Structure 1
Amino acid sequence: MPSLHIEHPVTDLATWAAAYARFADARRSAGVTAESIRRPVDDEHYVVVDLEFDTTEQAQAFLGFLRAKVWGVPEASPALAGRPEARVLQTVPAPQAAASA
């Protein structure tokens, strides 16, 4: 299952979260099937977002939308500090440990 992994600093988590919430319909329309938001335990000014999609094409298209319509528009991305790092990821099977003899 492909996902869009995004990381970036924020100036204020509450302001960022309110802006994130305003794009709920856009995420749904783009095909987001699951989402998670995390932040490092030692940095309240950084967020990590993972958005899951059914297809790689959906994830790539939504990344294009974010770059063109959200991250480059200060009114659409208040509290965004710095440039987001984002990449589309594909799940790979975890290697199985060899059985002990």
Structure 2
Amino acid sequence: MYTLQIEHKIKDFGMWKTAFDRDPVNRAASGVTGHRISRPVEDPHYVVVELDFEQRDQAEALLANLRATVWNSSSAAPALQGVPTTRILESAS
């Protein structure tokens, strides 16, 4: 299993979550098998998203799509602040 981990600052969690729920990249069609959203307890203006995939190339393709279309669009990502930090993780268990 592979996980695309995304971390970034946000203006407002409610605004961010509404945009996330609109799913502009069609997560299911992109191969996402599950996801988790976390927030640091000390920073309500920060979010960590983990998207799970069966194959590495699916994670890489979704990341490229996010960079090319979503993160550059104020309508698709209205609460995003700055540039997200990303990494693709491989399950070691």
Please classify the TM superposition score into its range, dividing by the shorter chain length.
Answer: over 0.9
Please state which structure has a larger fraction of its residues in helix: 1
Matching residue of 1:86: 86
- Taking the TM superposition and a 5 Å limit, the aligned residue runs for 1:29-44 are 29-44=29-44
* Structure 1 SS opposite 2:20: helix
Gaps of 5+ in 2: none
Structure 1: how far apart are the matches of 2:70 and 2:25?
Answer: 14
Matching residue of 1:27: 27
Q: Aligned residue pairs: how many?
A: 93
Q: CA deviation at 1:73?
A: 1.1
In the superposition, the TM-score normalised over structure 2's length comes to 0.96
Larger Rg belongs to:
1
CA contact (8 A) 2:24 2:76 kept: no
Change (3 A) 1:24 1:76: closer
Percentage of pairs with the same residue: 45
Is 1:7 aligned to residue 25 of structure 2?
no
Q: CA RMSD in A?
A: 1.2
Gaps of 5+ in 1: 94-101
Query: 4+ residue runs of structure 1 moved beyond 3 angstroms?
Result: none
Please state which structure has a larger fraction of its residues in strand: 2
